[in-house]
Structure formats: structure tokens, C-alpha cells
């Protein structure tokens, strides 16, 4: 079977990173981040364009420097449960932290979304980026990287074990025999590990897709290892074509080395297409979008996020970049240490660091519809992506992409003209995982 390009949509309401001023746009409702009708409309537009998934990001710590969308937004699974009742085919992927949630609650909430949506749920596993989150959960400090990723790996194992509590034929519901449950098909987990002790079983059966799809966004060494081991969908960081190709090969190779089928790890590169009637108009629009958010004080404030929400405003802007590497260790370590390294190697001041990390870089997917389609197809064919996790500033931008770019991709034979099935797994080309207890039973009977 030929490869099929996959598309997901990320929703940012009134503006996430790089979109701090989006709330000022007259086309964007000022309450978009808490307006369920806004989300439903977006999801329905993406579904009409045959997108694979609708993706909701999340975090649980803020300060006043954070983007408008972060300051006032809905909890992902509550949001997606509402969207599920107004859509039929698009996947529904929510972010939830393995650091600040118990596996049993995670398993139950995502399994519930999977049933509500008839098999369209996905869990984006994060370990929590913001160090301040710890103080919202009664902890003095954020867990270190090894602990957070060790906990994440074990949490996924526990959640998957709980999702297998019932075998698929556990409920005969035989009125004549008076048998609702076959107790031999119900299994406690009895997990006792380094981070969790969970007895089980889960009080919810498997869904039409067996288990929700596991997503991850690994960038650090620990993140890539986790992604290669557990992820079925990966939100890749993007960057240049060469960087994306290198990331793609690395994750696929790691998965293969672990005995997994690399084709069952779907890598979606983050992208923000800018589409206009001509290439020139699109690049002019792209620059206008950048300038709308080109506020130095805002960028200085947000720089602190990679360093545990550190406040850089008291520092001399024209002095050498301060030694804050230690603040990145429990926060955005990969990004933070890269900023520190670049500042040291190039002898940058704090002002220069802010300007460098936020300099104008147009999306490689900027141009007239055929130019954007060319670029999306080229990256896909060149082994940089299995698809894209797309961000649009406004609903009108999403509609333009759906109307002008998607048909070109379909005409070229790289994107579907109808959904492959009714579940997220079916549309991503992923197998339904067999129940582990059924497998063991069948193996023992041979």
C-alpha cells in the first residue's frame, strides 16, 4: 500500500506561543479559548477536510507573561468529550501529564473519551515542562528529568495494562442464563513498580479501537527514548528539512531497534502554513503575522519559560547572557541548554539572545496553494514526516487551507479522499492491539 499523508489540527484559541497578540484580531472571539462552540466549529471544518486528528495542548502553570490562550482555557478531556458528540470521524487527542496524574485516573478518563467518541481518542503523554506546576500539586520542586521520564514510561505501561482489564468478549449479557459478565475475562493488574502501585481492574471495557492511541513529543534524549518505546504518534519539533529528516530517521531507527514496526510510529511535524493567492502575498502576510507579535518585553518575559519561569527583567539587557543553565535542568532542558550554549559560543548579551531566539523565520510551507502543497508533498516524500500537526491563526486560515491546499494533495494521490475507517487507529493505519490476556490464553491453548 502506498504511504498516505496524515494531517492533524492544533487549536490555540486566542493565541499560543508566537501568537501572543492573536486575541486582538477582530476575527477571533475574545473568549475563543473557553468557547466550546469555537472548538466544535474548528473540529468540524477539519473533519470535513478529512484531517486525522484534532489536538489539544495543555499545561497546568501560568504567570502573567504567558500567551493569552494559556491564561484561560478548557481542560482537554472535558473539551474533547463535548467535541466528540458533534463529530463522527476525526481523532481526538488530548494532552495529560504523567507527572501530575495517577495512571488509574488517566486510564479511566481516556477510555471514557474513547467510548464517547466510538474509538477516536488519543493520549498525548507529557512529563510537564513548567517547573511551577509542582507547587500546584503540593511539591516543593519539579521532578528531575530521569525521574519524570521513568515515571512516564511506567505510567504508560500501567495505563495500557488497565485498558486490558476486560477481554473483548467479557460481557455476554446473556439474559437466558442470567450472565452479564464472564468473570474469567476480567483481570486485575496488581502492578507494583518503582513509581506506582495499582491493583486494578479498570471499570471500563475496551473500545472499538482496542486502546486509545499513544502520542508523545520527544526531543531530549530521554524523550526520544520514551517516544521510540511507547509512542504510536509523535509530534515532531520541525525546523529545517534536514533537521526533520534526521529526527525522523532517529526515531524510526530507535523503534526498529526495540523490535517495533517503524511504520506503526506516525511522525507528524509541527507546521504553520501561510497560504495566500500568490507566493509574494503569502510571504508579506507571514511577515505581517510576525510583526504583530514582535514585542520585545513579551519575548523577554516568555524566555523564562525554558528556565523554570525565571524572571529576566531585572538583568542588564546589554550584559553577557547570565549563567542560568542550572535553571533549565528541571524545566525545558533541551531548549534551555541550547540557548545557553549558543549565548556562550557567540558571546551574546541578554538582548541579543532574545532577538536571536525569536528572529523572523518564515514557515517552509508559505506561498500560493500549489507552492504549499509542493512543500508538504516534498517533505513527506523526502522522509522528513508522515504528516503534519498544523496550526492556523484564524478559522478563516484553516478554511482556506482546507479549500485550496487539501484538494491539491488529494489530486496528487498523497492524501485521502475519504476516511479509511471509523477509528483513529484505522485512519492512522495502526493495528488494533490484541488484549494481552486473550493472547496469553490463546498461547497456552496451543
Q: Are 363 and 244 in contact (CB under 8 A)?
A: no
Distance CA 107, CA 111 (A): 6
Which of 13-17, 169-173, 264-268, 380-384 comes out lowest in average pLDDT? Answer: 13-17
Superfamily name and number for 6-279+364-440: Luciferase-like domain (3.20.20.30)
- The answer to whether residue 248 scores a pLDDT higher than 80 is yes
Q: Locate the domains of the chain by residue range.
A: 6-279+364-440, 295-357
Whether residue 424 contacts residue 84, with contact meaning beta carbons closer than 8 Å, is answered with no
Q: Which parts are annotated binding residues?
A: 58, 95, 149, 220
Query: pLDDT band at residue 331, thresholds of 50, 70 and 90?
Result: low
pLDDT for residue 302: 81
Radius of gyration of the chain (CA): 23
Count Cβ atoms within 10 A of the Cβ of residue 325 and give its class: 0-12 exposed, 13-18 middle, 19 or more buried: middle
State the residue for C-alpha cell 507571514. Answer: 286
DSSP conformation class of 212: P
Identify the helix (H) or strand (E) that includes residue 367.
strand 366-367
For the ranges 11-15, 160-164, 186-190, 266-270, which has the lowest average pLDDT? Answer: 11-15
Give me the helices (H) in 188-305, please: 221-230, 241-257, 279-292, 296-303
Residue 273's φ and ψ, nearest 5 degrees, are: -60, 145
Count helices and strands in the chain by DSSP H and E runs:
17, 12
Give the confidence band of 126 by pLDDT, cuts at 50, 70, 90. very high
- Position 247 scores a pLDDT of 96
Given pLDDT bands bounded at 50, 70 and 90, which one contains residue 1?
low
Least Cα distance to 211 among 143, 284, 115 occurs for 115
Cα separation, 269 vs 236, in Å, equals 5
Half-sphere exposure of 365 (CA within 13 A, CB side): 23
Cα→Cα distances 236→15, 57, 149, Å: 20, 14, 18
Of 379, 387, 386, nearest to 240 by C-alpha is 379
Q: Is 273 exposed, middle or buried (0-12, 13-18, 19+ CB in 10 A)?
A: buried
- Separation in Å, CA 115 to CA 24, 81, 108, 120, 404: 38, 10, 11, 8, 34
Annotated binding residues for FMN: 58, 95, 149, 220
Given pLDDT bands bounded at 50, 70 and 90, which one contains residue 325?
confident
pLDDT tens per residue, range 127-174: 887 778 888 888 878 888 788 899 999 999 999 999 999 999 999 999
Q: What is the overall mean pLDDT for the chain?
A: 93
Per-residue confidence band for 381, with pLDDT thresholds at 50, 70 and 90: very high
User: 56: which strand partners?
Assistant: 94
Say which range, 19-23, 181-185, 432-436, has the weakest mean pLDDT.
19-23
pLDDT 10s digits, 267-284: 999 999 999 999 999 999
**Would you place residue 189 in the very low, low, confident or very high pLDDT band (cuts 50, 70, 90)?**
very high
pLDDT tens for each residue of 58-79: 988 888 888 899 999 999 999 9
Q: Which of 18-32, 181-195, 388-402 has the lowest mean pLDDT?
A: 18-32
Q: What mean pLDDT comes out for the span 310-335?
A: 86
Amino acid at each position: 500500500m502506498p504511504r498516505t499523508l496524515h494531517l492533524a489540527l492544533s487549536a490555540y484559541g486566542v493565541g499560543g506561543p508566537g501568537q501572543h497578540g492573536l486575541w486582538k484580531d477582530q476575527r477571533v472571539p475574545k473568549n475563543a479559548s473557553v468557547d466550546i462552540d469555537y472548538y466544535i466549529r474548528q473540529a468540524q471544518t477539519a473533519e470535513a477536510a478529512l484531517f486525522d486528528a484534532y489536538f489539544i495542548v495543555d499545561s497546568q502553570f501560568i504567570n502573567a507573561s504567558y500567551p493569552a490562550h494559556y491564561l484561560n482555557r478548557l481542560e482537554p478531556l472535558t473539551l474533547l468529550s463535548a467535541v466528540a458528540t458533534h463529530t463522527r470521524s476525526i481523532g481526538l487527542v488530548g494532552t495529560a501529564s504523567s507527572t501530575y496524574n495517577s495512571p488509574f485516573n488517566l486510564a479511566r478518563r481516556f477510555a471514557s473519551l474513547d467510548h464517547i467518541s466510538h474509538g477516536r481518542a488519543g493520549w498525548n503523554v507529557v512529563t510537564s515542562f513548567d517547573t511551577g506546576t509542582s507547587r500546584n500539586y503540593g511539591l516543593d520542586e519539579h521532578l528531575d528529568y530521569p525521574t519524570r521520564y521513568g515515571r512516564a514510561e511506567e505510567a504508560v505501561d500501567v495505563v495500557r495494562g488497565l485498558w486490558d482489564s476486560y477481554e473483548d468478549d467479557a460481557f455476554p449479557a446473556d439474559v437466558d442464563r442470567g450472565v452479564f459478565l464472564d468473570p474469567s475475562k476480567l483481570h486485575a493488574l496488581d502492578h507494583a513498580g518503582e513509581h506506582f502501585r495499582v491493583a486494578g481492574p479498570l471499570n471500563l471495557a475496551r473500545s472499538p479501537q482496542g486502546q486509545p492511541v499513544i502520542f508523545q513529543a520527544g526531543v531530549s534524549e530521554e524523550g526520544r527514548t520514551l517516544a521510540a518505546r511507547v509512542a504510536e504518534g509523535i509530534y515532531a519539533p520541525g525546523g529545517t528539512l534536514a533537521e526533520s529528516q534526521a529526527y525522523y530517521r532517529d526515531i524510526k531507527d530507535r523503534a526498529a531497534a526495540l523490535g517495533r514496526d517503524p511504520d506503526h510510529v506516525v511522525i507528524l511535524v509541527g507546521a504553520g502554513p501561510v497560504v495566500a493567492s500568490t507566493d509574494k502575498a503569502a510571504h508579506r502576510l507571514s511577515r505581517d503575522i510576525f510583526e504583530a507579535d514582535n514585542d520585545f518585553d513579551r519575548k523577554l518575559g516568555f524566555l523564562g519559560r525554558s528556565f523554570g519561569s525565571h524572571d529576566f527583567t531585572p538583568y542588564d539587557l546589554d550584559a553577557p547572557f547570565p549563567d542560568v543553565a542550572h535553571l533549565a535542568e528541571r524545566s525545558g532542558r533541551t531548549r534551555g541548554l541550547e540557548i545557553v550554549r549558543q549565548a556562550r559560543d557567540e558571546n551574546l548579551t541578554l538582548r541579543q539572545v532574545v532577538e536571536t531566539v525569536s528572529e523572523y523565520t518564515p514557515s517552509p510551507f508559505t506561498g500560493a496553494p500549489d507552492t504549499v502543497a509542493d512543500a508538504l508533498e516534498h517533505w513527506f516524500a523526502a522522509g522528513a514526516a508522515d504528516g503534519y500537526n498544523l496550526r492556523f491563526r484564524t478559522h478563516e486560515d484553516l478554511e482556506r487551507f482546507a479549500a485550496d491546499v487539501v484538494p491539491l494533495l488529494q489530486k496528487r494521490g498523497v492524501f485521502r479522499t475519504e476516511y479509511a475507517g471509523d477509528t483513529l487507529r484505522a485512519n492512522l493505519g495502526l493495528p488494533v492491539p490484541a488484549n494481552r490476556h486473550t493472547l496469553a490464553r490463546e498461547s497456552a491453548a496451543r
